[in-house]
């Protein structure tokens, strides 16, 4: 059984919701360190995506972030660019 910790490292995805996603994908149990690792990984990847999206936005001379900026930042430049550990 997964422990429901009140501690929240990542304010973007609540731990309760992350646990529900894990269960929906057939993962019944996980330990605290794995949850913290996933939370940090999500946060780091979002920050990287936003940095690339901002660069794309500035290249096009805009001050407003558009969906195409985010999409362009997600295009893989190599085999493992999405999740760096």
pLDDT digits (tens, 9 = 90+) for 27-77: 999 999 999 898 888 888 899 999 999 999 999 999 999 999 998 888 766
Q: Which ranges of the chain does DSSP label H, i.e. alpha helix? A: 15-24, 32-59, 67-74
pLDDT digits (tens, 9 = 90+) for 2-18: 555 555 455 677 888 88
Question: Is-above-0.75 flag for pTM?
Answer: no
* Cβ atoms within 10 Å, residue 41: 14
DSSP 8-state code for residue 62: -
pLDDT digits (tens, 9 = 90+) for 57-68: 999 999 999 999
DSSP 8-state code for residue 75: S
DSSP 8-state code for residue 27: -
């Amino acid at each position: 059984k997964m422990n429901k910790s009140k501690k929240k490292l990542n304010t973007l995805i609540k731990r309760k919701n992350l646990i529900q996603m894990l269960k929906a994908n057939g993962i019944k149990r996980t330990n605290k360190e794995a949850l913290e690792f996933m939370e940090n990984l999500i946060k780091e990847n979002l920050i990287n995506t936003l940095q690339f999206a901002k660069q794309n936005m500035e290249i096009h001379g805009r001050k407003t972030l558009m969906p195409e900026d985010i999409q362009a930042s997600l295009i893989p430049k190599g085999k493992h660019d999405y999740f760096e550990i």
